[in-house]
């Protein structure tokens, strides 16, 4: 440890253009942030939301990236960062009275999950 800094190695997975509101994914991401890899895979299975499957796929992808690119073992990883950002809207129009069209905005978001490996062995939650 040099100057109080921990050396961390990690990988990330990025999900683009996911057709779900960012608010709905954030309620899952707040639960898995700071958890180990095993806990982060188990937690979404017991939540009653449809987007849990998408989040678990991104967790698997981040762990596979760390294993393939950096040679890290999956059991030593933890989720250091998980965030969802608003993206553009998918625009549709619904026909209304007198020939008008009313816009429908369907939200799209981007999800980033970063997994880290601490060489020291301690982790912060």
Of the two residues 73 and 122, the one the predictor is more confident about is: 73
Residue 3 has pLDDT above 90, yes or no: no
Q: Where are the domains of the chain?
A: 10-118
Instruction: Give the pLDDT score at 10.
Output: 76
Contact 55, 32 (CB under 8 A): yes
Domain 10-118 belongs to what topology? Ribosomal Protein L22; Chain A (3.90.470)
Chain segment 93-115, per-residue pLDDT in tens:
999 999 999 999 999 999 999 98
Secondary element (H or E) of residue 80 = strand 78-95
Instruction: Give the pLDDT score at 125.
Output: 46
In 1-125 the beta strands, taken as DSSP E runs, fall at 8-18, 78-95, 101-118
């Amino acid at each position: 440890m040099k100057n109080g800094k921990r050396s961390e190695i990690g990988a990330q997975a990025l999900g683009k253009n996911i057709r779900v509101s960012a608010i709905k994914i954030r309620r899952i991401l707040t639960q898995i942030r700071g958890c180990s890899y095993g806990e982060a895979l188990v937690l979404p299975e017991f939540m009653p939301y449809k987007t849990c499957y998408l989040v678990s796929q991104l967790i698997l992808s981040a762990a596979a990236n760390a294993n393939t690119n950096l040679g890290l073992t999956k059991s030593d990883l933890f989720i250091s960062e998980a965030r969802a950002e608003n993206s553009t809207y998918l625009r549709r129009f619904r026909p209304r009275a007198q020939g008008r069209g009313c816009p429908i905005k369907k939200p799209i978001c981007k999800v980033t999950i970063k997994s880290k490996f601490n060489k020291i062995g301690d982790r912060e939650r």
